[in-house]
Amino acid sequence: MSVVKQLYQLQEIDLQLESNGQALKQRTSQLGENPDVVKARVELSSQHQHLEELKHQQLSAEWEIGDLTSKITTLEQKLYDGKIKNPKELANLQHEIDGLKTKCSQSEDKALEIMNQVEFTEGDIATASNRLKTLEAEWQLQQQHLTTDIEQLETILSDLEQKRQLILAEIDPQIVDLYQEIKKQKGAAVARVDQGMCRGCRISLPISELQRARSGSLVQCSSCRRILFFA
């Protein structure tokens, strides 16, 4: 195999190393927490907290109703047991009972409103939990795919690196240096020759250069310095 063909193969390997290396970097950056999952977890936790607060309010309201009801019962017993005869005192007692009944009815309205909010929030929590479960399942699957991809890419890269070392061992180090130097400047060191043109710079090549390149000798394009390769 001519040295130019070896350099061309080296370049193919370098290109594959680069594209697979980029793919690996991209996949690796996607590993880890997913912002959507994190956000959904935070939202669900704040809904749970809201529910706890509502239940606490509900309990307070129920205690208040119980308290008022027992006060009303006591006062009503006093009103009807016949021990109080004074009409003014009886009227005052009735007035106090009416006031407590109004307050109790307000507390019952409040308790009902809180109960509705509890039901509403429990519904929200069920929806949010399902959404989180779906997101977590999707995320887990995505992470599994990513892990598989990463393992495959690492194998590909290690195979390519081995091939690269094998080819490098066969090429004169000075020529490898030349290849690396042009690669650094131009991105690709080897250019195919196509219809008498260097495909690196699109300049038509002199016949003498074409002939030497065709024979497999190492010839650099007189215009862009790339190493010319006949496929």
Phi, psi of 217 (to 5 degrees): -75, 160
Q: d(Cα 174, Cα 136) in Å, to the nearest integer? A: 55
Report the nearest approach of Zn ion to the CB of residue 224 (Å): 3
Report the nearest approach of Zn ion to the CB of residue 225 (Å): 7
Name which of 111 and 221 has its Cβ closer to Zn ion. 221
Report the nearest approach of Zn ion to the CB of residue 175 (Å): 18
Name which of 107 and 200 has its Cβ closer to Zn ion. 200
Report the nearest approach of Zn ion to the CB of residue 31 (Å): 42
Name which of 132 and 201 has its Cβ closer to Zn ion. 201
Report the nearest approach of Zn ion to the CB of residue 210 (Å): 12
DSSP designation for 227: E
The full DSSP string for 136-158 is HHHHHHHHHHHHHHHHHHHHHHH
Q: How many CB atoms lie within 10 A of CB 69?
A: 15
Name which of 153 and 198 has its Cβ closer to Zn ion. 198
Name which of 44 and 224 has its Cβ closer to Zn ion. 224
Name which of 190 and 198 has its Cβ closer to Zn ion. 198
Q: Which residues form the interface with Zn ion (CB under 5 A)?
A: 198, 200-201, 221, 223-224
Structure token pair of residue 224 = 């862009």
Report the nearest approach of Zn ion to the CB of residue 198 (Å): 3
Element (H, E) at 228: strand 227-229
Q: d(Cα 5, Cα 229) in Å, to the nearest integer? A: 7
The full DSSP string for 158-211 is HHHHHHHHHHHHHS-HHHHHHHHHHHHHHS-SEEEEETTEETTTTEEPPHHHHH
> With contact defined as beta carbons under 8 Å apart, do 192 and 214 qualify?
no
